[in-house]
């Protein structure tokens, strides 16, 4: 990165913020302070560690190493550092770090893992720097470090009344020995963590200055688009690019593999150029349609598995002698991620090194994939992450970054490759389609003796999370999951597998409650009590946390006490070590269900930045609602039927009911929030609609079920 | 290729481009104004929303040749330093997740408030129905528009 313009921008940015006390970025008065920018000489900030730099003027720069895709990690991570550093948050400048495996671990936005993985290391980085500042002050004043304290960016020696700001101490402090095993604050002493702080990039976002991947520009770079096979299972037969090459704005046309890149100096020209390519495609492998997929999954749901994912007791025997069996099939379609910013990446590939810049949730895998396609060592590839216009798992994949690298290499030029919305939506790597069959065996008293789940998905891997509740509470439990290969490509999609499994599982629990005359909340509480008293097999969830979360949601939503005409549905789910329980309320308008309110209780341990945590959970519910209601991806002979937001329906403002979020308060280590709020939502919706209409929704999207409002 | 003279954020620009080039790509590629975003290219998502003579328009669906002498305002020109009441309200409510849609949301909201300074929830839902937020920040956007409306009033 040594020669990039980003480096330059960062420096001048620091210079600017240094002279305005950082208030421009973080303080409430940002609108006024832009005018105060002056050209005062910039003094080098002192580096304390991979996360903390302090300039003699007192600007505290905190590096945020993880990719930002809207989870607001770029605010949360620095808060962890600042808390232990004990500094003035309004003086903090946050800088996005590039990929650097020598300094940082797990630079990934995925698996709801950024927060839990950084909880200790980032606080330690702050505490360590603080200790060095104290040591420098103690040395300067010739007092014992143990007599010094800190407050809001100042080191104090109470006995003598001496004080010095972090800026004044920075130069000396950065040279102090790095202390080991620095103690961390107790939760009750937190001043920054647990308070809401505004997102650090707000001003740039609201004024159009925030750079996303697609906004990146480098002098001399080419803009490129790629023609890819129109159907899964097709390949290029022939290409005639003469009508494209003759266009004035087109610089290069490059065929690589089964794709053709069109490069030029402006987006519109390359888009037009691509349209003028005459490409003949031919069938390579079988062309699949949604009907084939459905038939395959139906077939697999009829087949047992020799090695089930989980087997407690003997469920099949229980079904044979059961007084009553209830059985339901649930279906969820393929889904594209459709982040607002389509895929894109910049690559500048030289003889034996490459520079990549763009939106990725996993810069490490982008680097490795690029290195592989270029045939150079991964250390020769640098990756700088831009802010992402959403990820939802799509950007955990490295295909688009590696593709940009390949095209830059072939073009011998820096290239920004962009995907149109159509490219993005039809280009593959979807949430897998998956079907489930749930069965429960009841005895004459209405007790559930056995549960049997069988899943079948396309390129889904294991379609089950077989240790999910109510496993652990059911004596005879059988879980079998089939995976079917398909040439429709799939990948992680916000809360992989959970996002459709929870729909089936939590809807079926509601069906059990209905069939046995139990209250759905009480049924879950009873089973948790059972799993606590006499656990069956592996129980990965914590009973008390799950119970508290369920009870909090029920209490806040006034479960069971809804006014006449309001119908409630319940759902509760544990994923990514976070506990979530939800109540959705539905009314009927002209006989059609209308979602009125969504209430969500969460136990994610300590909440770092409450407002952003709430935002993330709200987003999870809205996302869950939209996809359950409207979103569908289907195929005809390998060609996706949905290509853009006109044919692929996403949730809009008018579809969005109010969301209420409540946290279970405790002092446990934080867990992630990017994913866990989404999975249970669709079942809560379906369960509420059942209460309102008597119609049990088992197939997503719900709009297929002939309900007008949904 | 033809030459067009555009007035964007109060500044006159001359650009050379094909007549059917959408204003969005003129702004982004030719003028370096990348605040207006590309999300769909077919007028379905609102990420590219700008004001043309005060009306909110999808710049991806507006050919440069149709702009004529109209005054174009982009997110960069909505206010000098972010002091527009809608921008302030967006900060107060801390609206964004990824932020990619927000320039378009802000432009649509600003146009709405100009026409209707005290919009109801239903007014907001309908005026904002062409702006997608894939992150699902709709409730915050609605709230921020109410906050901005109060600011405009006082
Ligand atoms: S990019 Fe213009 S409306 Fe989507
Ligand atoms: S904030 Fe991400 S699309 Fe709206």
Cβ–ligand 2 contact at B138 (below 6 Å): no
Q: Using an 8 Å CB-CB cutoff, list chain B residues near A619.
A: 97, 135-137
Which residues of A344-433 form beta strands (DSSP E)?
Answer: 344-349, 354-358, 381-385, 415-418
Longest dimension (CA), chain B: 49
What tokens were used for A419?
């995907």
Minimal CA separation from B55 to chain A, in Å? 19
For chain B, give every domain's residue range.
2-77, 85-153
Question: How far apart, in whole angstroms, are the C-alpha atoms of residue A608 and residue A672?
Answer: 11
Smallest-distance ligand from the CA of B46: 1
pLDDT on residue A708: 54
DSSP A540-555: -S-HHHHHHHHHHHHH
Query: Partners of A280 in the beta sheet?
Result: A238
Closest C-alpha to A194, from A709, A667, A698, A704: A667
Q: How confident is the prediction for chain B on average, in pLDDT?
A: 97
What tokens were used for A199?
């997102």
pLDDT on residue A686: 97
Cβ–ligand 2 contact at A340 (below 6 Å): yes
B85-153 fold: DNA polymerase; domain 1 (1.10.150)
A494-533 residues touching B, CB cutoff 8 A: none
- Whole-prediction pTM value? 0.94
Yes or no: say if A638 and A487 are a contact pair by the CB < 8 Å rule: yes
User: For chain B, how many residues are written?
Assistant: 154
Per the listing, tokens 């379905």 go with B44
pLDDT on residue A707: 65
Contact status of A144 with chain B (Cβ, < 8 Å): no
Minimal CA separation from A554 to chain B, in Å? 22
SS3 state of residue A603: strand
Q: Using an 8 Å CB-CB cutoff, list chain B residues near A35.
A: 81
Question: How far apart, in whole angstroms, are the C-alpha atoms of residue A591 and residue A709?
Answer: 10
* Interface contact B25-A622, CB threshold 8 A: no
User: For chain A, how many residues are written?
Assistant: 710
pLDDT on residue A17: 36
Neighbour tally for A173: CB within 10 Å: 25
Which atom from ligand 2 is nearest to the alpha carbon of B99?
A: 1
State the complex-level ipTM.
Answer: 0.98
Residue to mutate, B22, B46, B131, ligand 1, most ligand atoms under 8 Å from C-beta = B46
Measured in whole angstroms, the distance separating CA B36 from the mean position of its chain's CA atoms is 7
B45 Cα: distance to centroid of ligand 1 (angstroms): 5
DSSP A459-518: S-S----TT-TTTTT-SEEEEEEEEE--SS-B---SSTTHHHHHHHHHHHHHHHHHHHT-
Question: How far apart, in whole angstroms, are the C-alpha atoms of residue A215 and residue A233?
Answer: 33
Question: How far apart, in whole angstroms, are the C-alpha atoms of residue A416 and residue A374?
Answer: 17
A229-268 residues touching B, CB cutoff 8 A: 248, 266-268
pLDDT on residue A44: 80
Contact status of A403 with chain B (Cβ, < 8 Å): no
Contact status of A295 with chain B (Cβ, < 8 Å): no
Question: How far apart, in whole angstroms, are the C-alpha atoms of residue A483 and residue A297?
Answer: 9
pLDDT along chain A (710 residues), means of 10: 31 34 30 34 80 94 94 95 96 94 91 90 96 98 97 96 97 96 96 97 97 97 98 98 96 97 98 98 97 98 97 98 97 98 98 96 98 97 98 98 98 98 98 98 96 98 98 98 98 97 98 97 98 97 98 98 97 98 96 95 98 98 97 97 97 97 97 96 98 96 72
Question: How far apart, in whole angstroms, are the C-alpha atoms of residue B18 and residue A264?
Answer: 14
Cβ–ligand 2 contact at B56 (below 6 Å): no
Contact status of A369 with chain B (Cβ, < 8 Å): no
DSSP B12-26: EEEEEE-TT-BHHHI
Which strand ranges, in their side-by-side order, compose the sheet holding A592-603?
Answer: A567-575, A578-589, A592-603, A659-663
Query: Partners of A111 in the beta sheet?
Result: none
Domain B2-77 and domain B85-153, same fold? Reply is no
Residue A363, H or E segment: helix A363-374
B78 Cα: distance to centroid of ligand 2 (angstroms): 20
* Interface contact B22-A615, CB threshold 8 A: no
B127 Cα: distance to centroid of ligand 2 (angstroms): 17
Neighbour tally for A694: CB within 10 Å: 7
Which residue blocks in A48-174 are alpha helix, DSSP H?
73-85, 114-141, 166-173
Q: What is the pLDDT of residues A139-193, one digit of tens each?
A: 999 999 999 999 999 999 999 999 999 999 999 999 999 999 999 999 999 999 9
The packing angle between helices A498-516 and A610-629, to 10°, is: 80
Q: What's the pLDDT band for B154 if we cut at 50, 70, 90?
A: confident
Query: What CATH number should be reported for the domain whose range is B2-77?
Result: 3.10.20.30
Cβ–ligand 2 contact at B137 (below 6 Å): yes
Residue A78 phi, psi dihedral angles, 5° rounding: -60, -30
pLDDT on residue A43: 65
């Amino acid at each position: 990165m040594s020669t990039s313009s980003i480096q330059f921008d960062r420096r001048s940015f620091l210079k600017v913020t240094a002279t305005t006390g950082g208030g421009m970025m973080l303080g409430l008065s940002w609108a006024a302070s832009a005018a105060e920018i002056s050209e005062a000489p910039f003094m080098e900030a002192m580096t304390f560690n991979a996360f903390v730099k302090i300039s003699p003027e007192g600007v505290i720069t905190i590096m945020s190493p993880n990719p930002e895709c809207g989870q607001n990690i770029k605010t949360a991570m620095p808060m962890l550092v600042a808390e232990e550093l004990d500094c003035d948050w309004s003086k903090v400048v946050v800088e996005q770090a590039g990929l650097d495996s020598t300094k940082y671990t797990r630079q990934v936005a995925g698996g709801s893992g950024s927060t839990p993985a950084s909880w200790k290391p980032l606080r330690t980085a702050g505490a360590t720097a603080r200790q060095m500042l104290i040591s420098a002050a103690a040395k300067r004043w010739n007092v014992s470090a143990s007599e010094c304290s800190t407050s809001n960016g100042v080191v104090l020696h109470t006995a003598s009344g001496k004080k010095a700001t972090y800026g004044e101490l920075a130069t000396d402090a950065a040279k102090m020995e790095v202390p080991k095993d620095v103690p961390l604050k107790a939760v009750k002493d937190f001043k920054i963590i647990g308070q809401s702080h505004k997102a650090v990039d707000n001003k740039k976002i609201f004024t159009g200055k925030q750079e996303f991947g697609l906004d990146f520009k480098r002098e001399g770079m080419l803009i490129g688009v790629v023609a890819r096979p129109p159907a899964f299972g097709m390949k290029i037969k022939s290409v005639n690019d003469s009508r494209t090459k003759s266009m004035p704005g087109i610089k290069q046309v490059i065929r690589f593999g089964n794709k053709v890149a069109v490069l030029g100096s402006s987006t519109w020209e390359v888009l037009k150029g691509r349209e003028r390519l005459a490409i003949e495609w031919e069938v390579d492998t079988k062309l699949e349609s949604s009907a084939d997929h459905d038939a395959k999954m139906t077939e697999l749901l009829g087949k047992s598995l020799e090695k089930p994912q989980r087997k407690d007791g003997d469920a099949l025997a229980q079904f044979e002698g059961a007084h009553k069996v209830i059985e339901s099939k649930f279906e969820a379609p393929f889904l594209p991620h459709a982040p607002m910013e389509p895929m894109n990446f910049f690559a500048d590939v030289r003889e034996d090194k490459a520079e990549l810049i763009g939106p990725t949730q996993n810069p490490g895998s982008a680097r490795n994939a690029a290195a592989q396609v270029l045939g150079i060592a991964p250390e020769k590839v640098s990756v700088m992450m831009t802010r992402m216009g959403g990820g939802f798992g799509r950007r955990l994949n490295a295909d688009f970054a590696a593709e940009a690298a390949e095209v830059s290499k072939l073009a011998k030029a820096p290239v920004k490759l962009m995907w149109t919305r159509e490219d993005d939506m039809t280009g593959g790597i979807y949430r897998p389609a998956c079907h489930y069959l749930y069965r429960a065996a009841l005895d004459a008293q209405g007790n559930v003796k056995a549960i049997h789940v069988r899943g079948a998905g396309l390129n889904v891997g294991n379609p089950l999370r077989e240790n999910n509740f109510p496993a652990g509470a059911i004596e005879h439990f059988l879980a079998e999951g089939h995976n079917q290969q398909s040439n429709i490509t799939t990948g992680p999609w916000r809360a992989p597998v959970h996002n459709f499994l929870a729909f089936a599982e939590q809807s079926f629990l509601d069906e059990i409650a209905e069939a046995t005359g139990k209250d759905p909340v009480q049924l879950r509480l009873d089973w948790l009590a059972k799993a606590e008293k006499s656990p069956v097999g592996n129980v990965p969830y914590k009973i008390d946390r799950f119970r508290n979360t369920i009870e909090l949601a029920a209490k806040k939503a006034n479960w069971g006490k809804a006014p006449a005409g309001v119908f409630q549905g319940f759902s509760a789910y544990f994923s990514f070590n976070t506990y979530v329980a939800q109540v959705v309320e539905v009314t009927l308008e002209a006989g059609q269900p209308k979602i009125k309110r969504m209430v969500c209780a969460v136990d994610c341990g300590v909440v770092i930045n409450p407002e952003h945590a709430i935002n993330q959970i709200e987003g999870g519910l809205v996302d869950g609602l939209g996809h359950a209601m409207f979103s569908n991806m289907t195929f005809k002979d390998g060609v996706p039927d949905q290509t853009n937001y006109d044919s692929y329906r996403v949730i809009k403002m008018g579809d969005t009911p109010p969301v209420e979020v409540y946290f279970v308060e405790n002092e446990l280590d934080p867990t992630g929030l990017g994913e866990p709020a989404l999975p249970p939502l669709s079942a809560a919706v379906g369960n509420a609609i059942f209460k309102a209409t008597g119609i049990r929704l088992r197939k997503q999207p719900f709009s297929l079920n002939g309900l007008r409002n949904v | 290729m033809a030459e067009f003279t555009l007035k964007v954020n109060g500044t006159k620009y001359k650009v050379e481009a094909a007549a059917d080039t959408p204003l969005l790509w003129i702004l982004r590629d030719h003028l370096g104004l990348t605040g207006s975003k590309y999300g769909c290219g077919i007028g379905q998502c609102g990420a590219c929303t700008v004001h043309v003579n005060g009306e909110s328009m999808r710049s991806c669906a507006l050919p440069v040749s149709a702009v004529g002498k109209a005054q174009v305002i982009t997110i960069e020109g909505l206010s000098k330093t972010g002091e527009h009441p809608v921008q302030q309200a967006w900060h107060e409510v801390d609206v964004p997740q990824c932020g990619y849609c927000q320039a378009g949301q802000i432009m649509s909201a600003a146009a709405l408030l100009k026409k209707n300074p005290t919009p109801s929830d239903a007014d907001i839902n309908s005026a904002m129905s062409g702006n997608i937020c894939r992150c699902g920040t709709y409730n915050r956007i609605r709230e921020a528009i109410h906050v901005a409306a109060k600011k405009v009033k006082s």
